[in-house]
A and B are shown apart, each in its own frame.
Chain A
Amino acid sequence: MDLSYTPEEEDFRARLRDWLAKTLPDLPPKPSPGDWPGRRAYDLGWQRRLHDAGYADVHWDGTPGVRLIFLEETEKAGAPYVGANFVGLLHAGPTIAAEGTDEQRARWLPPILRGEEVWCQGFSEPEAGSDLAALRTRAWRDGHDYVVSGSKIWTSHAEVADWCELLVRTDPEAPRHRGITWLALPMDTPGITVRPLRTLAGSAEFAEVFLDEVRVPVRNRVGEENDGWRVTMVTLSFERGTAFAGEVVACRRVLAELAVEARENGRWDDPALRRRLGRLNAEFRALWRLTQWNVSAAEASGGVPGAGGSVFKLRYSQARQELYDAAAEVLGPDCLDLDRPWTLDRLSSLSYTIAAGTSQIQHSIIAERVLGLPKGR
C-alpha cells in the first residue's frame, strides 16, 4: 500500500489549500435545506468556481493522489458538498466517459464540469428496487427516437435536474438482464411529470417521475441497445466504489466536532462514551485507508471500481449511522432538537443503508462476486 504523495501532488495540495482559504469566505450564504432551486444555484455556483480555478475535472482526470487530496482538503476546509452535482460528477459523468462515444463525451461532460447542467438517476421503479432488472418502463423505436412510457421513483434531485440517466426496457421478450437500455433523457421533454415525495427528514429531496410517451433521440443512447445492464453495472460500480469517498472525511470532521462538544458539555467524563468515540475514530480512519486503496485499485484496473466497492459502501453506511447515534448520545435531550445540525443529519443517515443498494444487497454481491458463493434464489 503506497500512502505517499508525489511532490507534484503535494504542490497541488498547497495550491488548493491556498485557493480554498481565499475563496470560501466570499461564498454566498447557504440556502435552507428545503429550498431546492436555491440549492441548485448554490451547488452549480460552487462547481463553476472550481471549474474557473482549474479544479473541476480532478475526479475524472486527476491521479488517484490528486483526487484524494482534493477530497481531503475540500472537506477539511468545510467547502460546499457536491450536492446537486452528485450524479453528474460522480456516476453519470464517469459512465459516459467510460462508455460513451466521443460525440457524447463532448456533448455532456463539459457542461457537468462547468456547473451548467444537473443530472439525476432514473433507475428505481415502484416494482423494481433491489431487483433493478425487474424494471418495466418501456421504450420502443419510432424513427430516430425512442418513445418512453412508465414511471420512476425515489429520483433524487429530479425537480432541479436537466438530464436523467434513464434505464428502459427495449426488449420485453429478452431475458430480464438483456433487454435493458441506458438513455440520457432531457428533463424538459414533453410528457414528463415530476411529483416530489416528502422524506422522513421533512424535505422533498427525491420524487416520482412519470413518463408518458416521452421522445428521446436514439443518439442519446449510451452503449448498445439492449446492452444497458452492462452499462448500468459500470454506473453502479462508480456509485458504490468511489462516489461516497469524500464523505468519509466529512465524517471525520463531525467526529472531531463531537469530541469538542462532549468536552464542553461534560459528557467526555463518561468512559463508555469516550471509548465509543474512540472506536468511531478507528472506524473512519480505516474507511479512509480503504478509500485510498479503492481509488488506487480502480485506477490500476482501467478506471472502473470493482466489487470491492460494496465492501466500502456497506461498512461506510453503517458506520455513518453509528456516528450520528453517538452524536445523539453526546447531545442528550438536544438530539431531539431539529435546530441542531446533527439531528437532521441523523435523520438523513437512515437512508444510507438503503439508497445506492441496500446493505442486504451489498452482502449478497460480496458473497457472490467476491467470495464466489453459489447464487441464492
Chain B
Amino acid sequence: MAACRCGAVRAGTGSAGAGRAGGPQWLDRRLWRVLGDLGFFALRVPEADGGVGLGLPEAVLVFEEAGRVLLPGPLIATHLAAGAVPGAATGETVVAAVDGGLVEWLAQADVVLGDATAAVPLRSLDPLTPLHRVPVRVADPVASLLTAAEQLGTATRVCELAAQHARVRQQFGRPIGTFQAVAHLCAGILVRAETARAAVYAAAVTADPADIAAARILADEAAVRGARDCLQVHGGMGFTWESEVHLHLKRAWVRTQRAGGVTESEELLATALTPGAA
C-alpha cells in the first residue's frame, strides 16, 4: 500500500489551496498509476479479464488501509468502474461518480458516471476532496461498504494518533494519558473502532444489505466521533492546520454524505426488524 501522502498533499494545498473553490485542482496521476499497478482498482476484476480476482473481503481490507493513510481521489468510483470503463482497472482513467447528492473529483476525472449535468461546485471543507453538488442521489451497497471500510481506517488511525499523543505529551508533570478523562476518551475511540471493525468485516463476508447498513452506521460514527475526540486529545495542536487530525475529520465528514449514510441505513435496518410488514 502506498505510504501516507498527507505530508505531500498538505504541502500542496496549504491554506491557499483550501480557500479555492472545489479543493485541490490536481490529482496525483502518478500515484493513481501506482495504485493501478498494485492492483488496487482491478482487485475484484476476474483473473480471466486481467484483474486480480479477489473478493469483497480483500477489497474491504485494502480500502480500510486507504482510509487509514488518507489516500485522496475518487477511489471507490474508479474501483467500481474497473472492468467496465476502459483504463479504470490500470489507473490510466480516473473515474468519478454521482453518489449521495455529491460528486467527488468531478473536474479532475476523465469519466463521470451518473447524471452530473446540473452539478454545481461547492467550496469543499475537505482540502483533499473537491466536491460538486448534484440533484440526484444514487445508492450502491458495495460503495457504501467500501466507504465503511475507509471510515474504519480513519477510526483506526485516529485511535493510534490519540494514544500516541496521550503517551508522550506532558502536563502537570506527567503524560496526559495518566489522566482518566483523557484515557477514557482514547478508550472510547478504540471501543467504537473495534465494534465497527467487527461489523465491517462481517458485512464484507456476507454482503447482506442489512449487515452493510449496520457496518456503515457504526463505521461513520467510529470515524467522525473518533476524529473529534482525537482532536480534543491533541488540544491546541489539534486545532492547527499543521496537525493531520483535521484532515481525518474532514474526510470522515465527506464520507458520511455518501449514499447509504445514517438516515438511509437506519431506515433500512428498521424495516429489517419486521420483515413482511409493509
Q: Do the two chains belong together in a single complex?
A: yes
A-side interface residues toward B, CB under 8 Å?
1-3, 255-256, 258-260, 263, 271, 274-279, 281-283, 285-287, 289-290, 292-293, 308, 311, 314-315, 360, 362-364, 366-368, 370-377
Residues of A within 8 A of B213 (CB): 282
The complex places the Cα of A257 from the Cα of B175 at a distance, in Å, of 48
Q: How far is the CA of A274 from the CA of B199 in the complex (A)?
A: 21
Closest to B206 in A: A3
Give complex CA distance A293, B202 in Å: 10
Please, which residues of chain A bring their CB within 8 A of the CB of B194?
290, 308, 311
Are A282 and B214 in touch, CB under 8 angstroms?
yes
- Contact assessment for A286 and B177 in the assembled complex, using a CB-CB cutoff below 8 Å: no
A286 pairs with B218, CB closer than 8 A = yes
Please tell me if the beta carbons of B190 and A278 are within 8 angstroms of each other in the complex.
no
- B195 touching A275, Cβ below 8 Å: no
Contact across chains for A371 and B195 when beta carbons are under 8 A apart: no
Q: In the complex, how many angstroms separate the beta carbon of A75 from the nearest chain B beta carbon?
A: 16
Residues of B within 8 A of A (CB): 57, 159, 163, 166-167, 174-175, 177-180, 183-184, 186-188, 190-191, 194-196, 198-199, 201-202, 204-206, 210-211, 213-215, 217-218, 262-263, 265-274, 277
**Minimum distance in angstroms from A170 CB to a CB of chain B:** 31
Contact in complex: A374, B177 (CB < 8 Å)? yes
Check B201 against A286 for contact (C-beta < 8 Å). no
Establish whether residues B183 and A255, one from each chain, have CB atoms under 8 Å apart when the complex forms: no
Q: Could you tell me the dominant secondary structure of chain B's interface residues?
A: helix
Cβ of A315 and Cβ of B191 under 8 Å apart? yes
Instruction: Tell me the smallest distance from the CB of B233 to a CB of chain A, in Å.
Output: 11
Instruction: Give every chain B residue within 8 A of A285 (Cβ-Cβ).
Output: 199, 202, 210-211, 214, 269
Which residues of B lie under 8 Å from residue A260 when comparing CB positions? 274
Nearest residue (CB) in A for B177 is A373
Cβ–Cβ contact B263 & A360, under 8 A: no
Contact A277 B183 (CB under 8 A): no
Q: How far is the CB of A266 from chain B (nearest CB, A)?
A: 13
Min CB distance A349 to B, Å, is 19
Q: Show 7 A/B contacts (Cβ-Cβ < 8 Å), sorted by A.
A: A281-B273, A282-B269, A285-B269, A286-B198, A287-B198, A373-B183, A376-B179
CB distance from A289 to the nearest CB of B (A): 4
| Extra 20 A-B pairs, beta carbons < 8 Å, given A259-B270, A260-B274 | A1-B204, A2-B205, A259-B274, A274-B270, A275-B267, A278-B266, A278-B270, A279-B217, A281-B273, A286-B199, A286-B202, A290-B195, A364-B184, A366-B190, A367-B184, A368-B183, A370-B187, A371-B186, A374-B174, A376-B180
Which A residues lie within 8 Å of B195 (CB)? 286-287, 290, 311, 315
CB distance from A254 to the nearest CB of B (A): 11
Q: Residues of A contacting B270 with CB < 8 Å?
A: 259, 274-275, 277-278, 281
Chain A residue contacts of B177, Cβ below 8 A:
367, 373-374
**Contacting pair A363 B188 (CB below 8 A):** yes
Classify the secondary structure of A's interface with B: helix
Are A279 and B269 in contact, with the CB atoms below 8 A?
A: yes
Q: Given A274-B270, A366-B191, A367-B183: A375 and B178 within 8 A (CB)?
A: yes
Total contacts A-B at CB 8 Å: 147
A370-B202 in contact (CB<8A): no
Q: Which of A2, A362, A364, A370: most chain B CB closer than 10 A?
A: A370
CB distance from A268 to the nearest CB of B (A): 8
Closest chain A CB from B101 CB (angstroms): 19
Query: Separation in Å of the A269 CB from the closest CB of chain B?
Result: 12
Q: Of B180, B206, B215, which contacts A364 at CB under 8 A?
A: B180
* Contact of B178 with A374 in the complex, beta carbons under 8 Å: yes
- The residues of B that contact A360 with a CB separation of less than 8 Å are 180, 184
Q: Which residue of B lies closest to A285 (CB)?
A: B214
Tell me the nearest residue of chain B to A290, going by C-beta.
Answer: B198
A275, B266: Cβ atoms closer than 8 Å: yes
Q: How far is the CB of A306 from chain B (nearest CB, A)?
A: 12
Q: Which residue of B lies closest to A314 (CB)?
A: B191
Write out the residue numbers on chain A whose beta carbons fall within 8 Å of the beta carbon of B265: 278, 282
B194 to chain A, nearest CB (A): 5
Choose among A282, A360, A366 the residue with the greatest number of B CB atoms under 10 Å from its CB.
A282
A373 to B274, CA, bound (A): 44
Given the complex of chains A and B, what is the CA–CA distance between A293 and B205 in angstroms? 13
- State the CA gap A33–B196 with chains docked (Å): 36
Contacting residue for B263 out of A275, A286, A375, CB 8 A = A275
For B214, the chain A residues whose CB sits under 8 A away are: 281-283, 285-286
Query: With A and B bound together, what is the CA distance between A367 and B182 in angstroms?
Result: 9
A289 engages B273 (CB within 8 Å): no
Q: Does A373 lie within 8 Å of B211, measured CB to CB?
A: no
Is A371 a contact partner of B274 (Cβ separation < 8 A)? no
- Residues of B contacting A259 with CB < 8 Å? 270, 273-274
In the complex the two chains form, is A372's CB within 8 Å of B163's CB? yes
Residue of B nearest to A291 (CB): B198
Instruction: Point out the residues of chain A lying under 8 angstroms from B198, CB to CB.
Output: 1, 286-287, 289-290, 292-293
Q: Say whether B269 contacts A278, CB under 8 Å.
A: yes
CB of B183 within 8 A of CB of A364, answer yes
**B186 CB contacts on chain A under 8 angstroms:** 367, 371, 373
Closest to B201 in A: A1
| Residues of chain B contacted by A367 (CB below 8 angstroms) | 177, 180, 183-184, 186-187
A1 to B, closest residue via Cβ: B201
Chain A residues contacting B206 (CB-CB under 8 Å) are 3
Q: What CA separation (Å) do A326 and B169 show in the bound complex?
A: 41
CB-nearest residue of chain B relative to A287?
B195
Question: How far does the alpha carbon of A39 sit from the alpha carbon of B175 in the complex, in Å?
Answer: 51
Inter-chain CA distance A346–B199, complex, in Å, is 26
Residues of B within 8 A of A255 (CB): 273
Among A259, A271, A285, A362, the most chain B Cβ lie within 10 Å of the Cβ of A285
Question: In whole angstroms, how far apart are the Cα atoms of A290 and B267 in the complex?
Answer: 23
Q: Which residues of the other chain, A, contact B210 by a CB distance below 8 angstroms?
A: 281, 285
Q: Which of A283, A311, A374 contacts B191 (CB 8 A)?
A: A311
